[in-house]
Amino acid sequence: MLEREGDDWGEPRNLGLPVSSDAPEFFPSLTRDGTLYFTRREESGVERIFRSRLKDGKYQEPEKLPPQVNSGQTCYNAFVAPDESFIIIPTYGRKDSLGHTDYYISFRAPDDTWSEAMNMGPKINSTSNNEYSASLSPDGRFLFFMSSRTPPREQWPAKLSSAWLRRLAAEPGIDNTSIYWVDARIIDSLRPGKATPKQ
């Protein structure tokens, strides 16, 4: 972490134990109260989402989030809402996935329990294997996410050409990872009790 010093930034320093361990840790996401969510690779090689509370300026022993959040074969690069009301988790290896890795969302209740992670549906997910990170705009109005999307077959020309393939390779889609955005109201539509998005 770095601390702001006037108009500049101080020197980077390792967070140290208990957050930084011998295991690989990456992709931090913070709540307004400083709670740190991050990915940790366990000894088995599986990646899971952990949380560490900030107390008296020090991070506490990280806790692995429950199976409602850590579903599938592996989870990583989670984004937690600033108010900690929900978390978006790129998850690999679930039967309801549209692709290899999809974005799932879990909602947190006031008693700190989490809803079952739900596939965010085809407006967000695709058959792409490159859906790895999401975030909200500071005002909470827009959801940004990473994806690579192949155009539907009906949009392909009747006869493929090298020119069309070169153009496609230079634009978003195929295996070119790009940033997409949608109205963040899609998140509210997924809350428990709301209609489930069509898959």
pLDDT tens profile 81-126: 999 999 999 999 999 999 889 999 999 999 999 999 999 999 999 8
User: Distance between alpha carbon 82 and the CA centroid of its chain, in Å?
Assistant: 14
| Among candidate residues 71, 67, 78, the one with its CA nearest the CA of residue 35 | 78
Q: What is the rounded distance in angstroms from the CA atom of residue 56 to the CA atom of residue 98?
A: 43
Q: How far apart are CA 142 and CA 185, in angstroms?
A: 8
Quick one: tokens of 17?
A: 């134990």
Q: Are residues 46 and 73 in contact, defined by beta-carbon separation less than 8 angstroms? A: yes
- By percentage, how much of the chain surpasses pLDDT 70? 95
Distances (CA, A) of 132 to 77, 90, 101, 198: 6, 6, 8, 22
> What mean pLDDT do residues 149-156 have?
76
Q: How far apart are CA 131 and CA 99, in angstroms?
A: 9
- Which residues are paired to 139 by β-bridges? none
Residue 199 — very low, low, confident or very high, per pLDDT cuts 50/70/90?
A: very low
Does 52 have pLDDT greater than 50? Answer: yes
Contact indicator for 114, 106 with CB cutoff of 8 Å: yes
Instruction: For residue 107, give the nearest of 41, 190, 15 by alpha carbon.
Output: 190
- Residue 145's DSSP bridge partners are 134, 180
Strands 101-107 and 118-119: antiparallel
Q: Which residue has the higher pLDDT, 159 or 106?
A: 106
More confident residue, 199 or 67: 67
pLDDT at 197 over 60: no
Whole-number pLDDT of residue 26:
97
Of 119 and 199, the one with more pLDDT? 119
Task: Give the chain's mean pLDDT.
Answer: 91
- pLDDT at residue 149 tops 90: no
Q: Is the pLDDT of residue 155 over 70?
A: yes
Q: Is the pLDDT of residue 170 over 90?
A: no
C-alpha to C-alpha distance for 166 and 127, rounded to whole angstroms: 21
